[in-house]
Amino acid sequence: MVVVTLNHRLNIFGHIFLQGLGGGEFDDASNAGLLDCVQALTWLQENIAGFGGDPRRVTLFGQSGGAWKVAALMAMPAARGLFHRAIVESGAALRLDTPDVALERSDRVFDLLGVARTDVRRLQTVPVEAVLAASAAVWPGAKFNPVAGTVGQFRPIAGTRSLPTHPFDPTAPAISADVPLIIGSTLTEDAFFLGSDPAAQNLDLARLRDWVQRLIPGADAQDLVREYREANPEAPLDFILYLISSDHRYLRDTTLLAERKAIQGKAKVWSYLFQRLSPVAEGRWFAPHGAELPFVFDNLDRPEAIFTAGSPTPASRKLASEISGAWAAFARSGDPNHKGLAAWPPYDRTARQTMVFDETSRSFSDPRRAGRLRMLALTP
């Protein structure tokens, strides 16, 4: 098995919207970063056999922003047939930005750089530092997308020549219907993003409700906090905050994407939830964004594996063997089941079987049902 990584253009350099400018020459600028990925996948098809790989069994997988790209590539016509399985870790992209939002963003960049839209080629002469400064300046005023859950990032644009549709809204993309999928998230993803803010630590109920109201403006924060505390009566308040935010930003879309793929009925989808609690910093991160990565790659001994907190234990090594073995089995056969892991049934909208990766891993039916339903009720 060969593991390949790739570089591609990011942020404004990979996703500024320039449609209709320069005689149409820049129409694909909004998805240049994804097209870089397509070029890499094309190279794999032509060359990976020389490195011991199999061009007929290419598994595309990514985490966080990388997961968004995997979902987007599943809907991208140019990527069709270039990969044969997909894994989406902590980044279920149902929808992307649309041309109207992207146009407003790019107009602000032109204004900040003092470049006329009719002189689009001049952008290519602007120093990189100035472009990055303009990109950063655009973010605070960018529109919030309540469905996609992002604020102001330059990222792929749906409704364009290179990406005609949203990845998984309203349905799973037809062009990748035959591609099996693994998708999942960690229990408290947002501990990674919120936990470094001192204001999110040592909460009292009033501050917790204030946090929830700001994170989910349309929610009844008092009612939401009450429900989650009743379901987790022994949990500290920072855990409640991270769980609510993570259910809203990750669990909801992860389960919707899995459901839409399952409804399509062409290829199987497997769902997981990583809930092994990290011992780092006396456990205050719980199961944060990125916590599964050292287990996926089975590299617990590396110092970069920060959420494993030092020397691996027999239990953590077993978990790493289970997860890395599942990813490898999926790459080989399109099915993550292997002899070192409890049975992992595919996901469907009735049983909603989900592999819960923990010190003892096993499949549960709809393990976060209450949170899933609560967040679905808040969907715009």
In the predicted structure, residue 262 carries a pLDDT above the cut 90: yes
State how far Cα 8 lies from the chain centre.
17
The residue among 130, 155, 176 that closes a domain is: 176
Q: Could you give the number of structural domains in the chain?
A: 2
Catalytic pick among 30, 64, 245, 278: 64
DSSP letter for 280, please: G
6: in domain: no
Token reading at 199:
């204001």
Shared-domain flag, residues 162 and 45: yes
Domain interval for residue 220: 184-377
- Residues paired with 150 in a beta bridge: 145
pLDDT at 296: 96
For the segment 114-125, the average pLDDT, to the nearest whole number, is 94
State how far Cα 177 lies from the chain centre.
19
Shortest CA distance to 371 belongs to which of 354, 357, 348? 354
Distance CA 172, CA 182 (A): 14
Question: Is 321 an annotated catalytic residue?
Answer: no
* Mean pLDDT taken over the chain: 92
Shared-domain flag, residues 200 and 59: no
The 10 Å Cβ neighbour count of residue 77 is 13
Shared-domain flag, residues 21 and 170: yes
- Residue 260 — pLDDT band, cuts 50, 70, 90? very high
For the segment 98-122, the average pLDDT, to the nearest whole number, is 94
pLDDT digits (tens, 9 = 90+) for 19-28: 999 888 999 9
Residues 6+ apart with CB under 8 A from 5: none
End-to-end Cα distance, the chain:
43
Shared-domain flag, residues 252 and 350: yes
- Residues paired with 86 in a beta bridge: 60, 181
Q: Cβ distance 359 to 315 under 8 Å?
A: yes
**Residues 367, 370, 374, 376: what is their CA dihedral angle, to the nearest 10 degrees?**
40
The residue among 176, 199, 215 that closes a domain is: 176
Peptide bond into 170 cis (omega under 30): yes
The residue among 131, 150, 176 that closes a domain is: 176
For the segment 131-149, the average pLDDT, to the nearest whole number, is 62
Please report which helix (H) or strand (E) contains residue 242, including its range.
Answer: helix 237-246
